Amino acid sequence: QYQKQFCDGTIRNQFFLDNVLKYSGVMTSQEVLRQRREEQQSSLTEWATEDQMSKIDSVLKSVARDWSREGREERSVVYDRLVGALTRHMPLTKGEPCCSGGTCCDE
């Protein structure tokens, strides 16, 4: 059950980030992957550097802390204004996935 919730949350987060990128006129994750596949001419694997891995580790720890039950109060102070602004400027349409885990509905 927890693994399914985690996977669903990951998909919803990627959907949200892709919409932010699309709205900003930047390539989405799927467009980047498609472009990489088209441009890939060799089978060489590109590995991440130690510095890149350290940054990713730091970001994931921050996300886990910020979005845990224990981080709720701090998250509210930091993110409520951002989420409110995003909701005003990029409202979900009925039926789209939303951060509550369900689908967006009329209020």
Task: Return the pLDDT at 106.
Answer: 39
Number of H helices and E strands in the chain, helices first, is: 4, 0
CB under 8 Å to 99, separation ≥6 — which residues?
A: 12, 16, 83
Whether the pLDDT of residue 101 is over 60: the answer is no
Condensed to tens digits (0 to 9), the pLDDT of residues 11-57 reads 888 888 888 888 888 888 888 888 888 777 555 656 677 888 888 88
Mean pLDDT (the chain, rounded): 79
Token pair 């967006």 is found at 104
Condensed to tens digits (0 to 9), the pLDDT of residues 49-59 reads 788 888 888 88
Count the Cβ atoms, other than its own, within 10 Å of residue 21. 16
Task: Return the pLDDT at 105.
Answer: 47
